[in-house]
Chain A
Amino acid sequence: MKRLLSLVLIPLLMTASQSVSAQGKFMTKVGRVTFFSTSIIEDIEARNTSAAAVLDLSTSQLAFSVPVKEFLFKRTLMQEHFNENYMESTKFPRATFTGHFVGLDAAALATPGSHIVKVEGDLTLHGVTHHMTVPGTLELKNGQLMAFALFSVAPADYNIEVPLLVRENIAKIVSIRVGLTCDPVGGSAAPVTRSTSPN
């Protein structure tokens, strides 16, 4: 009953007060991360729908954790080599990102439509961390937070070695697409409303 009430209340609160809607904590465990490598010889694509992410609009912080083994490739052998030799997913099971939104305008977020945002933080892949700035969009829709980002990464920067024979098959720059539909975190629904008072 309590949960039902909060389910009804959250969207209500969000539409009622702008500051409330833009201050929640949002989370998903089924985020979608896709990457593309395009070269003259072949196109490679892999898809992961088990990315976990937390976006905290009240503190402008965010974090991602992507289980590397969950990437699906068209070719089974490619998937095996990706895990065994390129990403060494037994040694480095997760790719992570922690960072914060740069100049997030909480009030603007509450208006309908998608909003361009900038995220700055550390991406850790294959045990190597690099600081980067990534553009993306955020949209609040029916109480859920939709987040999208498109950026690129150079495998060489992350000590991902490509054997000579397939060097022409794998792009020097791999583009990564992130798409999330995050639900408000249930437990923090109440604190969110309270935290509006200091503002």
Chain B
Amino acid sequence: MKSIRHAFSFSFLISLGAALLAVAPAAHAQDDLLGQLEKETTDPQKREVVTATFKGTHIINSQSVETPGEGTMAFLIQHRFGTLNSGAYNLFGLDQAVLRLSFEYGITNRLTVGVGRSSQDKTYDGFLKYRALRQTTGARAMPVSVTLFASSAITTLKFNPPTERSTTSRVTYAYQALIARKFSPALSVQLMPTLIHRNFVATPSEQNDVYALGGALRQKITKRTVLTADYYYLLPGNKPTGVRNALGLGVDIETGGHIFQLHVTNSLGMTEKFFVSETTGNFFKGDLYFGFTVARNFTIKPQI
């Protein structure tokens, strides 16, 4: 065994030597100025940030690790029609519509603030998103990007008949760590450990805190089209009664200036509070909401 290894390393050395002898004069004769230049400027140790893990700041229901970037304001129109199985009378859901409008502004390349308004339960939400870690290549490469997300939502719905509801009882909080990795230019995967805290629950048996683990992925099919999916698994124990895991499947189409995201999901709501802790539709029984997200970016502070 040992001798074989020796023989192998010996022949390897010989061939290496031969290769070097063959290459050296050729390289010299070429006197390649560009090669020389590239050798001086390429630093394999150099760390480079991996960009464009996802096309938009949202995947389907979930936020993605992406942020608009410093000085950029993103305006998002998120739209959900009624369920596809609601029959021809409702034109398969097109008669109904739920909307969320939101603005996201990049204060720095890492920190983003956002506000939104969902028509569902007349809910306002505000959030902070911070890119804590960015995936890099090169020496001591960071394998994943991590974005921390915190949001609070308040419903301004008039309860009928008027009941005693304090302002705090109308508030819900959501906390997420978005952990993503771009495995190849085409494939990105994201994990989202999530905590939803509801200040008010309907029955004493329900827990205020809901825990979930989300997963999402995107796969490019052409340069400008990608397939997306996201899913939230509610951890047993604190699972609210009658609530199902949210699943979404979609297509992102980039048209040049902006991005269209088309999807079907069993969740009607478009913020964490709704899709994690209030999804009731059964995806596989046709309780599917067709929806889309359109994002338009405005440059408030140009980079150059």
Q: Which of A47, A69, A77 has the most CB of B within 10 A?
A: A77
Whether A65 touches B38, Cβ cut-off 8 Å, given contacts A81-B254, A85-B224, A90-B185, is yes
Check A163 for interface membership: any CB of B closer than 8 A.
yes
Q: Do residues A63 and B34 form an inter-chain contact, with CB atoms below 8 A?
A: yes
Contacts of A69 in B (CB 8 A): 48
Q: What separation, in Å, do the CA atoms of A79 and B70 have in the docked complex?
A: 13
* Inter-subunit contact A74/B33 (CB<8 Å): no
B52 lies within 8 A of A84 (CB): yes
**B34: which of A67, A74, A80, A96 is its contact (CB, 8 Å)?**
A96
Contacts of B48 in A (CB 8 A): 69
Assess the B37–A76 pair: CB atoms within 8 A. no
Interface pair B69/A165, CB less than 8 Å apart: no
Is B68's beta carbon under 8 Å from chain A?
yes
Are A63 and B33 interface neighbours, CB within 8 A? yes
Complex interface residues of chain B between 162 and 191 (CB less than 8 A to chain A): 185
CB distance from A40 to the nearest CB of B (A): 15
Q: How many Å from the CB of B112 to the closest CB on chain A?
A: 12
With a cutoff of 8 Å between Cβ atoms, the chain B residues found around residue A92 in the complex are none
Measured CB to CB, the closest approach of chain B to A166, in angstroms, equals 3
B223 lies within 8 A of chain A by Cβ: yes
B51 and A61 contact, CB distance less than 8 A: no
> With the chains together, A81 CA to B52 CA distance in Å?
9
Contact of B304 among A47, A54, A94, A165 (CB under 8 A): A47
A83/B51 in contact, CB under 8 A: yes
Which residues from 42 to 83 on chain B have a C-beta closer than 8 Å to any C-beta of chain A? Answer: 48, 51-52, 68-72
Most B C-beta atoms less than 10 A away, residue of A65, A83, A166: A65
Q: Decide: A85 near B257, CB < 8 A? Known: A29-B41, A54-B33.
A: no
Chain A hits for B255, CB < 8 A: 163, 165-166
**Bound-state Cα–Cα, A67 to B34, Å:** 13
B256 touches A56 (CB 8 A): no
A75-B72 contact, Cβ under 8 Å, with A85-B254, A166-B256, A169-B256: yes
- Could you tell me the distance between the alpha carbons of A81 and B34 in the complex, rounded to whole angstroms? 28
Interface centre among A76, A84, A165, A166 (most CB of B within 10 A): A76
Instruction: Determine whether the beta carbon of A54 is less than 8 Å from that of B256.
Output: no
B72 partner residues in chain A, CB cutoff 8 A: 75-77
Whether A98 contacts B254 by the Cβ 8 Å rule is no
Contact status B37-A61, CB under 8 Å: no
Q: How far is the CB of B36 from chain A (nearest CB, A)?
A: 7
A75 touches B299 (CB 8 A): yes
**Chain B residues in the interface with A (C-beta under 8 A):** 31, 33-34, 36-38, 40-41, 48, 51-52, 68-72, 106, 185, 223-224, 254-257, 297, 299, 302-304
Binding site for B on A (CB under 8 A): 27, 29, 45-47, 52-54, 56, 59, 61-65, 67, 69, 72-77, 79-81, 83-85, 90-91, 94, 96, 98, 161, 163, 165-166, 169
Could you list some 10 contacts between A and B, CB below 8 A? A62-B33, A63-B33, A63-B36, A65-B37, A69-B48, A73-B304, A75-B303, A77-B297, A90-B185, A165-B256
New A-B pairs, 12, CB < 8 Å, besides A76-B297, A76-B303, A96-B34: A52-B40, A52-B41, A63-B36, A65-B38, A75-B72, A75-B297, A76-B299, A77-B69, A79-B303, A80-B52, A165-B256, A166-B255
